[in-house]
Structure 1
Amino acid sequence: MAATTSSGDDPPELKTPAQLIPPLPDDVALNCLARVSRCHHPNLSLVSKTFRSLPKSPLLYATRSFAGATENILYVAIRIPPETGARWFTLLRRASTKNSHLLVPIPSCPSPSLVGSAYAVVGSEIYVIGGSVKDVPSSSVWVLDCKFHTWRRVSNMRVGREFAAAGAIDGKIYVIGGCVVDNWARSINWAEMFDVKSQTWEAVASPGVEVREKWMHASAVMEGKVYAMADRNGVVYEPKEGGKWGVPEKRLDLGWRGRACVIEDILYCYDYLGKIRGYDPKERVWRELRGVESLPKFLCGATMANRGGKLAVLWEGKAGSGGSRRMEIWCAEIEVERRGEAEIWGKIRWSDTVSTVPNDSAIVNCLAATV
């Protein structure tokens, strides 16, 4: 039979999908690529058309988790004038640049004017909770998916809040304060809990009015308890056994205002002298972090995060003069360890300028998520 030529009406020729890494099976190739550091994903997407969509693939991140190849990535919110809200950045390591670590912008929250939000991290997601818009407390909750740098809204809180405390324990986010408690309806919502699995809010029975305050200036989770610090000491909530409220001991409060983090049940912050200290809740004592004397005194404009068991510290510096004056954002990563029973030491792994922003900018917060 003579050969025939195809016409425009013939069905298109079926193409076999390209392999990720010929001649490896795709499951083996994916297992290899899952171990590539997140900081190299932008370069990975430039290798070929096949790789272009790989960094946005849920299968890649599922494989990273299964293979134990996840990383703790730092995210930073910075208020840059004239905006009242915060822009968002992630910290990447770039071997080919002068500064080995850089803050790279990512999509910011779709509600950019929120001020005084609370923050909580659950796995690979950062929750931005409440805040005020033109001095009106909001009940909105936004979630940053750190795998794909996308935002979504979840169910609103029962009341609007600003400058609340928040902490995540066992897949539940507890939010405390940030609202007026001048009537019964509001007082039963002074604290509430968001169940990440069911995506629902419910009220948490709160303590007497004598320990309720509107604004919380800091929060932390230690030993399965949420510490909410206010101007008059604050409260401690332990969700286990039906929920238990208490008052933190006075020595715990060094005036830390959202700039603390917890590593191996030690609370790190900086005191009024600008020194980093660690609080041991079992021994109920503060100790100075030694070995980091080369760092500046953190009198203001600094914040901290637990980045994979290491202490990440960000602070503000100044560059230039007059009309050309700019703000530098610095970051240091510190390994911390206990030595004996009376000392904690830090070893600075690296310290670098990670961004330069307009003058009068301010660091809002920094958090680490697992991706």
Structure 2
Amino acid sequence: MAESCNSRGFSWLVKSCFPNPQETRRGTTLVTRVSDKSPPENRHHQTTFASLPDDLLLECLSRVSPCSLSSAFLVCRRWSQILDSSDFYDLRRSHGHVHRTLFAVAFTDFGVYGASHRIDTNMPWKTTLFPAVEVVAPETFDGSFSHSRLTAIGRRIYILGRNATIRYDAWTGTVTPRSPMIFPRKKFAAAAVAGKIYVSGGAARTSAVEEYDPESDTWRVAAEAPRRRYGCIGATVDGVFYAIGGLKIGGPHVEATRGAGAEAHVYASTMDLYDVEAKAWLRSRAVPGGGCVVAACAAGGHIFVLASHAVELSFWRYDGRRKSGGFGEWCRVKTPPLPAQVRLDSTVRFSCVGVGDKVVLVQVLGSIDDLLRRSRRTCRGWKEGLVLVYDNDKGEWNRGVDLPEVIRRAACVCVEC
């Protein structure tokens, strides 16, 4: 079946899902009603999609165009169940119809916008108005997602806010409210490990690491973090949940001493490693050279960290493959080639996303104040929404397709759709 968005070509498929009213079912065989006087050689069987066994229907639907999937879910309950099954996802992936896609969500005064882009193409970002506001109560939505984190499991994106959680289905385009975290958090670490979501940091009153089960839509405390972090970043490699960077916050053990500021700064270049299966914390080395972690992600079995040293940036790779001989080793790699107009100050933010073996570095705005400074910098030729792609195999950076104008204060994630 050709991958086309032509609705006329899809209509016959939809109609064939419904049984022919002129047919009657005898046992498991559909036989067309014909006159008793008609000769046997003129009698024939007419098969519709409704009569196909699940395995054949699954094979046919796995070839449906991506832009027709949202319509296919609405045909009937049987189709919806098949399309929502893991067998359909695995078969569609084996046919090469599932692609790693970069997805960005921006919360603005004019609404919530989503944008998707495949980095292996030169096609522009596809921007749509995000329907999140319609499913979250206004009093909950206001301020809840100002510092949200995005994480993806398969085709579903989970947007984790301070007091609310919403799930976006990249195939159907539907948004569903889910259970919020147990403890309100802000600028915390989040990542998906083995089909579950783990969050840590961003809460001054607790060091709890929470685990979310998408099947039961429930949160529980999985562990207690060794350090309370604020502004940290989450990632995962080989069954380990990483809480990276950030500053020290809260806790009765924090004293207003002369060394408190120095200790908080040390947090900015360290990582906490939680082995999900063993339910234990692992030891790790801090980022060499110190600095402050401003962006991080996992890609190709490694953790990539972008560190700031006040006037310059450094880019590091950490081997997260526990069965390799180099587990836990740091290696400095090529620094992203940022334009000269980009200054390393409070107005510049970066979002780092792993897409397969590649690292995508996206420049985003960090606050409302950044928007006010935008016009002055734009006049000096400063480019916003910059996208750079790092190829780990080649060790080179390439320029990607810039973010669309409406997407500026964005959170980014890689989703399979």
Name the TM-score, length of structure 2 as normaliser: 0.61
Larger Rg: 2
2:239 corresponds to 1:224: yes
Matching residue of 1:100: 123
Structure 1 gaps, min length 5: 1-12, 46-50, 132-137, 182-186, 338-343
Q: Which amino acid aligns with 1:285?
A: W
Residues 332, 14 of structure 1: CA spacing in aligned structure 2 closer, same or farther, 3 A cutoff? farther
Whether the 8 Å contact between 2:167 and 2:175 is mirrored in structure 1 is yes
Question: Where does structure 2 lack aligned partners over 5 or more consecutive residues?
Answer: 1-19, 24-45, 248-263, 321-326, 366-370
Q: What aligned pairs does 1:283-294 form with structure 2 within 5 A after superposition?
A: 284-289=329-334, 293=337
Deviation of 1:345 after TM superposition, in Å, equals: 0.8
1:329 counterpart (361, 382, 385) = 385
Partner letter of residue 278 of structure 1?
Answer: R
Residue in structure 1 matching 2:408, options 357, 362, 367: 362
**Structure 2 SS opposite 1:66:** helix
Structure-1 residue corresponding to 2:146: 115
Partner residue in 1 for 2:256: none
Structure 2 distance, partners of 1:52, 1:147, is 6
Percent of aligned pairs with the same amino acid:
20
- Cα distance in 2 for residues equivalent to 1:323 and 1:216: 26
Residues 1:177 and 1:324: Cα distance change in structure 2 (over 3 Å): closer
What SS does structure 2 have at the residue aligned with 1:240? coil
Structure 1 pair 61–312 and aligned structure 2 pair: CA distance change class (3 A):
farther
Is the contact between residue 91 and residue 104 of structure 1 (CA under 8 Å) also seen in structure 2?
Answer: no
1:222 is displaced (CA, Å) by: 2.7
Letter matched to residue 122 of structure 1: I
Q: Are 1:301 and 2:349 an aligned pair?
A: yes
Q: CA deviation at 1:327?
A: 6.8
**C-alpha contact (below 8 Å) 1:316/1:329 kept by paired residues:** yes
3-state SS of the aligned residue for 1:250?
A: coil
- SS state at 1:303 partner: strand
CA 1:163 to 1:30, structure 2 compared with 1: closer, same or farther past 3 Å? same
Counterpart residue number, 1:190: 208
Q: Which protein, 1 or 2, shows the higher relative CO under an 8 Å CA cutoff with sep ≥ 6?
A: 1
Q: 1:267 pairs with 287, 303, 306, which one?
A: 303
Residues 1:321 and 1:174: Cα distance change in structure 2 (over 3 Å): closer
Give deviations 1:47-89, integer Å, cap 9, x for gaps.
xxxx992376644575453142311121102243x46x85322
2:90 equivalent among 37, 56, 65: 65
- Larger strand proportion, structure 1 or 2? 1
The answer to whether the 8 A contact 2:149-2:160 is kept is: yes
Whether contact under 8 Å (1:327, 1:356) holds in the other structure is no
- Over aligned residues, Cα RMSD in angstroms? 4.1
Judge conservation of contact 2:191–2:198 (CA < 8 Å) in 1.
yes
CA distance in 2, matches of 1:354, 1:284: 33
Letter in 1 for 2:159: V
Q: How many residues end up aligned between the 2 structures?
A: 310
SS in 1 for 2:293: coil
Distance 1:14 1:102, change over 3 A: same
| TM-score normalised by length of structure 1 | 0.68
CA distance in 1 between partners of 2:126 and 2:276 (Å): 36
Does structure 1 conserve the Cα–Cα contact (< 8 Å) formed by 2:102 and 2:119?
no
State the match for 2:113 in structure 1: 87
Matched-pair contact (CA < 8 Å) for 2:150–2:412: no
Which amino acid is the alignment partner of residue 351 of structure 1? G
Q: Quote the offset at 1:18 in angstroms.
A: 11
Within a 5 Å distance, the mapping from 1:231-242 to structure 2 comes to 231=247, 232=264, 233=267, 235-241=272-278
